[in-house]
A and B are shown apart, each in its own frame.
Chain A
Amino acid sequence: MASSFREILKSDKFVVTSEIGPPKGTNIEKMLQHIDLLKDKVDALNVTDHQSSVMRFPSIGGCLAIKEQGGEPILQVTCRDRNRLALQAELLFAYTRGIRNVLCLTGDAVVVGDHKAAKGVFDLDSAQLLKTIRQMESGKDLGGNDLDGTVEFCAGAIVTPEANPLEPQLIKFEKKIEAGAEFFQTQAIYDLDKFAKFMEYARQFRVKILAGIILLVSARMAKYMTDNVPGVSVPQNLIDELAAAPKGEAINKGIDIAGRMIATLKKESICHGVHVMAIGREEVVPNILKAAGLAT
């Protein structure tokens, strides 16, 4: 069975993905509700892998739940917690359970998370992980040994189009493409002119770019992200717009902003799709899609 997500990426459709954050603990009720709410409204759902180095229910567990509910999962795999043996084993397991899409990430540093004394592994990096997938597809593991049954994945990676300085990130971006990345989900973008410039450059490569859209729920969050999240800069006019919203209405303004951006990206064919992240507020993703004119 090939990846249906890959088929969608190959088509001319404006691709929409979103993501699920697994719980800290075994209470997966809310995660299952989010999956149920979103699985038919988007083309695929990422499941984060101990996002921000905070220990949680695993990405593979969330992906299996998506499969069980008839959705299309994207397995996020970071190199922070596993060496090359464990990473390959995870890919073998994922494949046997019908998971066909993998997003390859280096992973955040251990010390930004909630197990600061843990050992960061980083035996591989994101580019090496992508290449590992392609090698496994050829029937060999990283040790050069034959695999009894291979894998086949639609493999993706991330890029930060507004990073400063940008050039080192672009070199990495091109390395990821050479290593086998087929699609990219970007870090959050808010300045569409800057992003359009990035896309002018990125279009020379045969990869699909899904613009990262992170829902802003307040002016404070927008300022925090600008000050603290690498490669994220919310323009002042958007911060002002959020600040001007009546009390309790800022999230609706954020939904409007996200919807407006998505609509523009689609209408002007700036990129191939969007990856919508509503960190902790997954229940409003349908509202964002509606605001963007994408809801069915």
Chain B
Amino acid sequence: MKSITKQKPFEEIQRQLDGLDRVYIAGCGTCATMTKTGGMDEVLAMKDRLQELGKLVTGWIVIPTACDEMTEVAIKENNGAIQNASCILVMSCALGVHKLSTYISKPAIPALDTLFIGVEDGPGYFQEVCAQCGQCVLGETAGICPLTACHKGLLNGPCGGTNNGKCEVDKEKDCAWTLIYQRLEQQGRLDLMRRFHSPRDYNVAPRPRTIRIA
């Protein structure tokens, strides 16, 4: 499981740093390193680009796991360089931006966009298989989530836009319901596809979702 990120267009990063000339950069040694968006190489490249812009980079770090509790310790150790900066540019997913924002009072600026929680299904190939909806239907859909894998998130079977097993929004993308049909047929469980699904409960866990584990 990885939090999949993509670097923002540099113009947007530049715009966010408007008036913030002393920058401390924080990358992440876990997901963002795997996805080559916030590992040491990317942090150093960002440092060079910011310096070319005339920014002063007061320091940088690749936090082992930015969303982890240990981030507080890592930040403390670099306190001097952070105190010297007017902001911290975060090259991790939004979870890291959130954590850093709680530990420091200076603005935490995201350098990345967080796309989805993905699973690696081949070297360097990540896909979204779960939308974390809070009402798992995988038991009835042969392990393929229609809420995630179907562009429209349909629960009651394919739309009329599917063609030759592909999706109407992308001829390269498999139609989730064709895949579900094929697997259920193999399993001899097509009766599950005939079952009517009532409209989803979007209030199953009101946003923002929280949980306290006893």
Interface on A for B, CB 8 Å cutoff?
Answer: 84, 106, 108-109, 111-112, 120, 122-128, 131-132, 142, 158-160, 163-165, 167-169, 171-172, 174-175, 178-179, 187, 230-231
Interface CB pairs A-B, < 8 A, 19:
A106-B154, A108-B168, A120-B151, A120-B152, A123-B202, A126-B156, A127-B156, A128-B155, A132-B199, A167-B181, A168-B181, A168-B193, A171-B157, A172-B156, A175-B196, A178-B196, A230-B161, A230-B162, A231-B160
* Contact among A84, A168, A230 with B163 in the assembled complex (CB-CB below 8 Å): A230
Interface SS of B by simple majority? loop
Residues of B within 8 A of A175 (CB): 156-157, 194, 196
Q: Which of chain B's residues 152-173 have a Cβ closer than 8 Å to chain A?
A: 152-165, 168-169
Number of A-B contacts (CB under 8 A): 90
Does A108 lie within 8 Å of B161, measured CB to CB?
yes
- How distant is the Cα of A218 from the Cα of B196 in the complex, in angstroms? 41
Residues of B within 8 A of A128 (CB): 155-156, 197-199
Using an 8 Å CB-CB cutoff, how does the interface string of B193-214 with A read, 1 for contact, 0 for none? 1101111101000000000000
Q: Give B161 Cβ to nearest chain A Cβ, in Å.
A: 5
Using an 8 Å CB-CB cutoff, how does the interface string of B139-158 with A read, 1 for contact, 0 for none? 00000000000011111111
Residues of A within 8 A of B158 (CB): 168-169, 172
Which of B154, B165, B178 has the most chain A CB atoms inside 10 A of its CB?
B154
Q: Contacts A131-B196, A171-B190 hold; do A109 and B156 have CB atoms under 8 A apart?
A: no
* Contact among A108, A124, A126 with B199 in the assembled complex (CB-CB below 8 Å): A124
- How distant is the Cα of A109 from the Cα of B155 in the complex, in angstroms? 15
Which of B161, B177, B202 has the most chain A CB atoms inside 10 A of its CB?
B161
Q: Give A265 Cβ to nearest chain B Cβ, in Å.
A: 21
Residues of B within 8 A of A167 (CB): 181, 185
Does B178 lie within 8 Å of A230, measured CB to CB?
no
* Contact among B168, B185, B190 with A112 in the assembled complex (CB-CB below 8 Å): B168
- How distant is the Cα of A106 from the Cα of B162 in the complex, in angstroms? 12
- How distant is the Cα of A118 from the Cα of B26 in the complex, in angstroms? 33
* Contact among A109, A132, A165, A172 with B168 in the assembled complex (CB-CB below 8 Å): A109
Q: Give B74 Cβ to nearest chain A Cβ, in Å.
A: 38
Tell me the nearest residue of chain A to B163, going by C-beta: A230
Does A106 lie within 8 Å of B159, measured CB to CB?
yes
- Given A122-B154, A187-B160: 16 more A-B contacts, CB < 8 Å: A109-B152, A123-B199, A123-B202, A124-B199, A125-B155, A127-B157, A127-B196, A164-B165, A165-B181, A168-B157, A168-B177, A168-B178, A169-B157, A171-B190, A172-B158, A230-B163
Q: Give B89 Cβ to nearest chain A Cβ, in Å.
A: 27
Residues of A within 8 A of B161 (CB): 108-109, 112, 230
Does A163 lie within 8 Å of B190, measured CB to CB?
no
Residues of B within 8 A of A124 (CB): 199
Residues of B within 8 A of A231 (CB): 160, 163
